[in-house]
Amino acid sequence: MKTTEIKIRALRDNETGFLADMLYEALYIPDGQEKLPREVIEEDSLKKYIVEWGKDQYDIAYVAEMDTELVGAIWGRLFSEQNKGFGFIDHKTPELSMAVKPPYRNRGIGTELIQTIAQAYRKKGVQQLSLSVDKANDASRLYKRLGCEVKMETDTSYTMIKRI
């Protein structure tokens, strides 16, 4: 049986629509709850993660590719105090978003994506990254294992930072 390799590479200009797919996939829905309609990513609180993607030097994205199929993505963006993301720390800390399609999870793809984007931001002089994750989301364990620390906590979510 042939083992297919996962390739991590930079998002191409013609693939920005995939970020919308992954933004929707990144929404945590507990088992047993009905999925949200796809249009939810058009809400202001979510579309800010992808609208006008690539206009800023700190808009950085990588994809995971398997046999020419995109199976995951990670991207980061700076937000302002006036236009905060869910994992906002400050205007100098890029906030990460990440998703891997369900059939490809638990294969180390998320780890590779985080390590790749952290290295890219480190080259730009960034000292830390942030993210928001639902406490019940299995990804929270991955983030902790990769050195993300809880900076803030609500009843349902963590805002985490990763020093790089």
Structure tokens at 82: 């006036």
Confidence bin at 31 (pLDDT 50/70/90): confident
Rounded percentage of the chain residues whose pLDDT exceeds 90: 92
Length of the chain as a residue count:
164
Confidence bin at 3 (pLDDT 50/70/90): low
Write out pLDDT tens, residues 67-125. 999 999 999 999 999 999 999 999 999 999 999 999 999 999 999 999 999 999 999 99
pLDDT value, residue 14: 95
Set out the domains of the chain in order of their start, with CATH numbers.
6-163 (3.40.630.30)
pLDDT value, residue 1: 42
Q: How far apart are CA 160 and CA 140, in angstroms?
A: 9
Compute the Cα dihedral for 46, 51, 53, 58 and give only its sign. Answer: negative
Confidence bin at 30 (pLDDT 50/70/90): confident
The model's pTM: 0.94
How many angstroms separate the first and last alpha carbons of the chain? Answer: 38
Rounded percentage of the chain residues whose pLDDT exceeds 70: 98
pLDDT value, residue 132: 97
